[in-house]
Amino acid sequence: MVRKSIWEARLDKFKEAAFKKKLKAAFISNTKNCSYLSGFTGDDSFLLISEEKNIFITDSRYAEQAAAQAPDFQVREYKGAMLDALFEELGKNKINVMGFEDSDTFISTYKNMKRKLGVRLEPLGDALLKQRSIKDATELGNIKKAVQVADSAFEHILGFIKPGISEMDVAAELEYNMKKNGAEKCAFDTVVASGERSSMPHGVASSRILKKGDAVTLDYGAVVSGYCSDITRTVFIGKPEEEILKIYGIVLEAQRRAIEGAFCSMRGSEIDSIARDYIKEKGYNEYFGHGLGHGIGLDIHEEPRLSPKSETIIKNGMTVTVEPGVYIPGKYGVRIEDDIVINGQEPIILTKAAKNPIIL
């Protein structure tokens, strides 16, 4: 028996879910979803998937790359408008009902498709997002490598942070180190928020100069083989105030409890409440405004969500961040974030960077 490639296995699983809706075909336009189903790593990619055929539509810039990277697909190069090529393929394959990615399609694009294609359009819903939320072995391997790059960068940056340099200096050094050690790019704009700016959860690096007594929050990630990592650590330059050390201990304990309690079959909201209830018990509930975490993979934010409103049932193989924080406006903030894999009742912690209070 010939073993299926990971791409064939993903396609089969997607088709099983999509064609239960009695669709004749599915049109995939989201670049990350195209990569997930085909293995293609470039831009300008569109998939037309039916039970009989897998067609990859792209322009001349990527035709050769698509043929090499997506062997399970027949490559169709278009020279005019992509929708014209799609129209021809629909007619050639006698397709009159087509699923489309409703969560990723502008209204103007939908209207244009409806006018040009002459088929009934049906929303695909979240079937592919749900499939992507559970990582296969190849995906987990790539995420682990991305986490290792981020962990290594944290060790490096501890010897770089000092009074007199700017937040942008720190961000540039972090990003250079990650790229030097295997990152294709950064997973998102690097957050370096120091002193009073550390109370801003997404305080992207500024020209502020670091000084003694600052708390410095670092939130960054690497992309390796298309997959993201996401790590946050808060460190101190010189001896910090007693209150922020107390807050650090509360955030660290809230995170520990949430990670240890992140079990398969729980709702996302239940895991969120483990950390949130502890922070509330300690009197800082009003200073923790965001959700506890989110899925990571080809996108830096994907399903599932760990938040007060999340009804998603957490399953084995889901890879999520756990990142509680407490932010006192105008003074300081603390956030600690790790990447974990849901694994029964014993989650796997991917992130290894030190979490004890670090005073530089």
pTM of the model as a whole: 0.94
Shortest CA distance to 12 belongs to which of 30, 32, 33, 37?
37
Task: Enter the tokens of residue 249.
Answer: 């201990």
pLDDT at 127: 87
Q: How many percent of the chain have pLDDT more than 70?
A: 99
Q: How far is CA 35 from CA 101, 121, 315, in A?
A: 15, 23, 23
What mean pLDDT is reported for the chain? 95
d(CA 303, CA 344): 18
Q: How confident is the model at residue 3 (pLDDT cuts 50, 70, 90)?
A: low
pLDDT digits (tens, 9 = 90+) for 188-244: 999 999 999 999 998 999 999 999 999 999 999 999 999 999 999 999 999 999 999
- Mean pLDDT across 131-148: 97
pLDDT at 126: 87
d(CA 285, CA 275): 10
* Burial (0-12, 13-18, 19+ Cβ within 10 Å), 92: exposed
- Mean pLDDT across 42-61: 93
Q: How confident is the model at residue 2 (pLDDT cuts 50, 70, 90)?
A: very low
- Mean pLDDT across 283-296: 97
pLDDT digits (tens, 9 = 90+) for 232-282: 999 999 999 999 999 999 999 999 999 999 999 999 999 999 999 999 999
What's the distance, CA 25 to chain centroid?
28
- C-alpha angle 323/214/193, rounded to 5°? 45
pLDDT digits (tens, 9 = 90+) for 303-339: 999 999 999 999 999 999 999 999 999 999 999 999 9
Q: Domains in the chain, start-ordered, CATH in brackets? A: 6-128 (3.40.350.10), 134-349 (3.90.230.10)
Residue 317's region, left for phi above 0, alpha for psi from -120 to 50, else beta, is left
- Mean pLDDT across 93-115: 91
- Tell me the torsion sign for CA atoms 8, 9, 14, 17: positive
